[in-house]
Structure 1
Amino acid sequence: MLAVHTSGHVNWSIISKVENYLYDLRLLMTMEQSIDDKIIIIDIDEKSLANEGQWPWPRDKLAQLINRLFDDYQIRSIGFDAVFAEAQANNSLNTLSYLFKKGLFDETQYQNLRLELDHDQRFSEALIARDAVLGIVFKHSIYDQQTNGELPAPLASLEILNEVKNDLYYGTGYAANLAILQQASGFGGFFDYIRDDETLRKVPLIQYYNNQIYPSLAFELARISLNQPAIEFQLSGNQQSTLRSLEFIKLGDYKIPVDQTGSVYVPFRGKQGSFTYISATDVLNQALPIDALSGKIALLGTSASGLLDLRATPVGKSYIGVEVHANIVSAILEQRFKHAPGYRLGIELFSLFILAMLMSFIFPFLQSIGAAVFIISLTSVYCALNLYFWHWQNMIFTLATPLFFIFISGFLHLNYNFFVEQKKKRRLSKVFSQYIPHELVTDFDSNQAEMSLAGENRIMSVLFTDVRNFTNMSEKMTPTELTVLMNEFLTPITHCIHQQQGTIDKYMGDAVMAFWGAPINDEQHASHAISAALNIIIQMDKLTRAFKAKNWPEIKVGIGIASGEMSVGNMGSEFRIAYTVMGDTVNLGSRLEGITKMYGVDIIVSENTKILASEFIYRTVDKVKVKGKDLPVTIFEPLGLFEQLNETTLANLAAYEAALQLYWQSEFAAALEQFETLNSTSPCLLFTIYIERCTLYRITPPALPWDGSFTHTSK
């Protein structure tokens, strides 16, 4: 359960909440608690509102603020934590236009006065040739796709991140700045936050809209402050990997670690106030020393409580939003980010495995006091390692899941009753003795072999065997004779399966279904299944000779074997259950048994079975599309081990495989000649089938494109 949570397939809210708490605790314990003097915040504070009027201010006042900052105080760059999406209402322009129409001004006077009174124009002129980043907001609801204003130039086309675009955040609409302002500035970045819960821990550095990638306000401000270095997006893994994700964004020599969504953990320097706040009114009124802001990176934001730019963060429940951007800019310049690398999942799962080994092989042998000391020590060591990677390597690894595992495992071990364990073992032995050989049950009891009744998916092999023409035989026998006959051939079949450690699934009249790989793991399941099948054919030949002496009918069986993933476990209803297997592989095994008689062979196996049991020699039977399958499968007949076959058999096999290759290459005349030669020396139904097909295809070739397969419509 905890491994599944760690892998991200299931999210257990209680673990996530504890993980967030521990993240916040580590952050608070290790913050620098210093002030970055490279970055300042031009604050629309209560003092500024009192002196300059309520926000938003007239655009001419903003133009004056920009000119003061760049011309008088020589700042490096500025970012606006605000959007100027609409033109400023200006009654003076309306009055001027009215007076011009009345003839009170000539054209030159009118244009000069208009430029003087057009505050948007004055603001745009103040932005020209200045390193100023305007703010934009992306919308993220399919129900809100409205657009307003003009977007800045994108960072890049989404094509360069096309293989990971599904992981990135994207906008459905946007609120951007007036075209006159955006064109004057040339730079823009979004400042909308996307959060998994109420606390802001991560923010995206990039988003995309309309197949174009756009930067965040902080990212773009850092970029222009570094003289716009080249941008590079680095993905995890290599180009052949199918599970790639975005891992780094580079700004020249500056490397920013991101997660798969293009987000960063906000690198808080400390609690609120980690940057110098300058009242905007002091800038406007030149109340600061002339060199106080020289070369600084500025952010225009607000701390005034009435403007509600507050966020819940790990370092404060009412944290001023603009300082979040300042922390990110600062961390980019100082290369001070925490990173959850793409390979951390493997490390975390390996850590859980190591903890599981320690809890399984050491903890059960400790007494109560020793067990308590062991849990405390193990917890302390793991926390110390986690904190080491956090603080000195800037790497984030989960902490809650391993701690949950240690405490839950310890609790279960301490409360596990020996007598309950023994009772469970006896119950399992009794249940499994109905399914598998007694020797395996004994092995399980004595050696604690891995065994489970729980439903699960496993790579296994399944075998189906059926007596041919059994219906015709049964009609000629009395019920008593039929019962004796069935017991005579089902017993050796069962014995052959048990000899190879197989599990009998069910008897279906004259048919038997068995599987290998459960309930006890069997790495050689395919080899054991084929060995059992070959032995069944031998035993049926012996049985036929014995039946002949009793004047009983000949027993011929067909066997189908398939290997692959299947579901295994107790299945059924509340009234009756059975330990059985299900899935496409099981169905394929049944279909293969059904077509053995069509080819005149005793055993047919799937290609997976052949690959898994490579020690046997096989004859390729055909490429077929069995009922219920759209894609062709290659089927084979196992002949035995190499040392069991004579030279004549191997030579005939090589000639047959060569003829079959000619057939698949549509060389029907050449294939026909070889199949006829083989059939003349060793007649069999399989050769006859290909002779008939080649003869037909020479006259009426199969439709192109032809994959060489034959479609079976019956089971």
Structure 2
Amino acid sequence: MSPAPTASYWNSVARLLGWTAGLLVLVGLLLQEPLWLQALRNAVFDQYQRWQPRQYEDAAVRIVDIDEESLARIGQWPWPRTYMADLVTSASAGGAAALGFDIVFAEPDRSSPLEVARHWDLTVAQRAAFMAMQDHDALFAQAMDGGKVVLGFAIRQAAPQPGGAAAPVPVTAGLVEFGPGAAPHLQPFAAAVAAVPALAAHATGHGALAFLPDSDGVVRRVPLLLRVADRTVPSLVSELLRTALGEKNLLVRSTDEGIQEVRIGEFSIPTTRNGEMWLHYAAASAHRAIPAWKLLAGQVPASELQGRILLVGSSAQGLLDLRFGTQGHLVPGVEVHAQALEQILGKHFLHRPAWARVVEALVLLAGAALACAVALSQRPAVAAAVSAVALVAVAGVSWWLFSLHQMLFDPLTPGIGIACAFLVPSVQRHHMSDKRRRWVSQAFSRYVSPNLVSHIVQNPEELVLGGKRQTCSFIFTDLEGFTALMEAIDPAEAVLLLNRYLDGMIDIAFRHQGTLDRIVGDSIAIMFSAPIAQADHKERAVACALELQRFAAAFAQAQQSTGIRFGHTRIGVHAGEVIVGNFGGETIFDYRALGDPVNTASRLESANALLGTRMCISEAVLGRQPATPAVRRVGQLVFKGKTRPLLVFQPANDGLDHPVDLQAIADYERAYALMAARDPQALAAFERLAQTQGAEPLVRFHLERLRKGEDGDIVTFTAK
């Protein structure tokens, strides 16, 4: 029978379900396409066009440009409609395939004789003379009868004012639909502003003049169909192409998801779901435009007009028909129409297939799942590298599809998903790792010095085997008679008592930023200036040793007052060059110091038992002439196996909180100086000290030596 799932298993399942739900929510949010995401995606597509604009090819499209020079030669706008008639006549004579006006003739020509007769203050004879002249709009209409002319009409969102009549929507093109119908997906408008009926009736076609820029004002798409009130109408681009090709109908294929394509003659144009075609801008070209004044002056050869689709519009800044293009500069509105026609005639289509969002969602899910998985399971560097490769791959595929296949694939939505899927778990994992590291640090610090733990966390390379030479200070402590005490009291009570004692001692060591080298039973070894170098490690060691002694004495006194025979603590302090590092082998981390100074510090602690002192500090720590007068020389000690003596000092009162008798120290030092000089008066001097300081163990120790016939201050130890 299989064992029941553990809590860890269910926690893992819960985390997996949580991350899965999070990824699905992220996909849902991104596929809602908020405005900020659309703006960023459009910026990416714009950059693609800057890197690789459409190459201009001499297509059968020309702009009859009412440019600044034309206005200077002919006069300010609006021109009399007779000039429009001349443009139509010249275009027809040159064999133009069609002529479209990116202009709305919504009112009668005010310069026309009929309008002058109606509105000017004239005499009866003058008014009769003007009424006898031919009307400009009639001349324009008459010219249109002989050519394929498409007039533009404006559309607006607002309905007519109350009492006003909506202009009829002029539609001459037939509409053949395949699918459930295009109307629900088209951009809706309330009304049209068409040409005056006297002109509209003579035009071959009518096309809506409408640009639908994005929120940043950039025109990236041109509509081919629009909905005005309850009618589907063509745009100027689609109507002009239909007229030039001599087609009667526009064919539209749609699905429930939106419009798929618009077909005009042999040209099948992929569209957005709203019936718009994506623009791929080419650089400005002088070959694209014919100045209007030249056409009016008859200076354009017929070869430049034969079979061309002509668009009449203006690039003059004063006429304000300027738009923002994807190249980052202003483009005349008529040029936008011309570029759209160039793309259609060249069968160069940017398209964003209906299935693109589905693929992007799948790429987002797959990439985000991969990024999330590696972020949760691999090292940060590996996870970052894998996520970066995924991001580069998505961006690379997107650029490849645009560059070679003119396909718009959004790299941003999957990229954001992948980035979030990497960053969120990475941040969480970092937080959990940091939390775990703090927990380990806190837990480990109960057993190892906090400064050592901090050093290891910041320098994990220290965990490798090996060491380095470093000058350090050492404190060794030992508890007198604790073995006998453990035999005399309950073992559990003895352990509890020892732990309280060690907690206090270790806390003091850590407070002085010492490193706990080791604990052996009731003995403690403390190291300074490792792993982090401390310039004042000797001063720290002395201060720490004195505080340890005061704590130990107070602790022992407190226990003795309750009847527990808790012994005194002996301390040795020494300094020297050692090798510090990890000497625990391959299986365990054991950071410690090795070298003779460590052994010497241990022997100084042991020497207290023979000398009768509680603390011995070597000259390596204090120097031969200590700066403080509150110490006295113990002697020059020669330990077993050594030949060179080591000058050792004892702090006044062994570091206890008793008043320091500086006179007693001075008397001792005078007697010690006689002894060190091998002066025969040394014995008498110590005899006198014994009378005044008879209870002092160190005085008795030297007095006994002198009485045995020894001289000098060198004390040789025959045992370790």
Q: TM-score, normalised by structure 1?
A: 0.53
- Higher Rg of the two aligned structures: 2
Counterpart check, 1:314 vs 2:326: yes
- 1:407 equivalent among 419, 425, 442: 419
How has the CA–CA distance of structure 1 residues 3 and 266 changed in structure 2, closer, same or farther, with 3 Å as cutoff? Answer: same
What is the CA distance between 1:165 and its match in structure 2? 2.8
**What is the 5 A alignment of 1:277-316?**
277-316=289-328
2:401 pairs, out of 366, 378, 389, with: 389
Match in the other structure for 1:646: none
- Displacement of 1:64: 1.3
Write the letter of the residue equivalent to 1:404: I
Residue 373 of structure 1 corresponds to 385
Which 10-residue stretch deviates more, 397-406 or 321-330?
A: 397-406
Counterpart in the other structure of 1:459? none
Is contact 2:175–2:249 with CA below 8 Å preserved after alignment?
no
Q: Distance in 1 between matches of 2:167 and 2:231?
A: 17
**Matched residues in 1 for 2:420 and 2:95: separation?**
60
CA distance in 2, matches of 1:144, 1:27: 42
AA aligned to 1:60 is T
**Deviation (angstroms), 1:194:** 2.1
Match of 1:83 in 2: 104
Residue 624 of structure 1 is matched in structure 2 by: none
Which runs of 5 or more structure 2 residues have no equivalent in the other structure? Answer: 1-24, 437-720
Q: Within 5 Å, give how 1:327-366 maps onto structure 2.
A: 327-366=339-378
Alpha-carbon contact 1:156-1:212 (below 8 Å) kept: no
Which of 123, 137, 142 does residue 120 from structure 1 map onto? 137
Distance 1:417 1:164, change over 3 A: same
The structure 2 residue matched to 1:254, chosen from 267, 272, 275, is 267
Partners of 2:27 and 2:187 lie apart in 1 by: 27
Match of 2:157 in 1: 140
Secondary structure class of the residue paired with 2:432: helix
CA-CA distance at 1:161 after TM superposition:
7.2
RMSD: 3.3
Q: 1:468-493: per-residue Cα shift (whole Å, max 9, x none)?
A: xxxxxxxxxxxxxxxxxxxxxxxxxx
* CA 1:95–1:326: 2 relative to 1, 3 Å: closer
Aligned-partner Cα distance in 2 for 1:233–1:257: 10
Equivalence for 1:130: 147
CA deviation string 1:494-521 (max 9, x = no partner)? xxxxxxxxxxxxxxxxxxxxxxxxxxxx
Instruction: Tell me the CA shift for residue 300 of structure 1.
Output: 0.5
Q: TM-score, normalised by structure 2?
A: 0.52
The corresponding residue for 1:657 is: none
TM-fit CA distance, 1:53 = 0.9
Q: 1:33 maps to which residue?
A: 55
How far residue 12 of structure 1 moved from its aligned partner, in angstroms, is: 3.3
CA contact (8 A) 1:60 1:122 kept: yes
Instruction: State the AA in 2 paired with 1:4.
Output: G
Alpha-carbon distance, 1:207 to partner: 1.1
Partner secondary structure for residue 134 of structure 1 = strand
Contact 1:271 / 1:316 at 8 angstroms: preserved in 2?
no
2:225 corresponds, among 192, 206, 214, to: 206
CA displacement at 1:321 relative to structure 2 = 0.8
1:304 to 1:79, Cα distance in 2 relative to 1, 3 A: same
1:4 alignment partner in structure 2: 28
1:617-648 C-alpha deviation (Å, 9 max, x unpaired):
xxxxxxxxxxxxxxxxxxxxxxxxxxxxxxxx
Is residue 2:98 matched to residue 1:55?
no
Instruction: Output the CA distance in 1 between the equivalents of 2:213 and 2:417.
Output: 27
- The CA deviation at 1:284 is 0.9
Deviating 4+ runs (over 4 angstroms): 94-106, 113-116, 142-150, 156-164, 421-424
Q: Distance in 2 between matches of 1:220 and 1:277?
A: 21
Q: Is the CA contact (8 Å cut-off) linking 2:208 and 2:236 kept in structure 1?
A: yes
How many angstroms apart in 1 are the aligned matches of 2:116 and 2:393?
Answer: 76
Match in the other structure for 1:697 = none
Q: Report SS of the residue matched to 1:346.
A: helix
Does 2:316 align with 1:324?
no
Partner of 2:64: 42
- Please state how far the C-alpha of 1:151 moved relative to its aligned partner: 3.4
Counterpart-to-counterpart distance in 1, 2:232 and 2:268: 18
Question: What amino acid does structure 2 have at the position aligned with 1:281?
Answer: W
The answer for the alignment partner of 1:706 in structure 2 is: none
Counterpart of 1:516 in structure 2 is none
SS in 2 for 1:199: coil
- Quote the offset at 1:66 in angstroms: 1.4
Check if 1:20 corresponds to 2:42.
yes
Q: In 2, Cα distance between the equivalents of 1:142 and 1:180? A: 24
Q: Indicate the percent of aligned positions where both proteins have the same amino acid.
A: 25
Map 1:61-80 to 2 at 5 A: 61-71=83-93, 73-80=94-101
Structure 2: which amino acid aligns with 1:29? W
- 1:76 partner letter: A
2:151–2:195 Cα contact (<8 Å) kept? yes
- Per-residue CA deviations over 1:403-425 (Å, capped at 9, x if unaligned) read 1122222222332237738999x
| SS class of match (2:201) | helix
Aligned to 1:560: none
Shift of 1:154: 4.7
**2:199 counterpart of 1:181:** yes
* Aligned-partner Cα distance in 1 for 2:363–2:343: 30
Structure 1: 5+ residue stretches without partners? 237-242, 425-715
Matched residues, number: 409
Counterpart contact for 1:200–1:314, Cα < 8 Å:
yes
What SS class does the counterpart of residue 137 from structure 1 fall into?
strand
Question: In 1, are the aligned partners of 2:220 and 2:279 still within 8 Å (CA)?
Answer: yes
Aligned residue for 2:274, secondary structure, equals coil
The structure-2 alpha-carbon separation of the partners of 1:345 and 1:103, relative to structure 1 and needing over 3 Å to count, comes to closer
1 CA distance for matches of 2:112 and 2:336?
37
- d(CA) in 1 for partners of 2:26, 2:165: 44
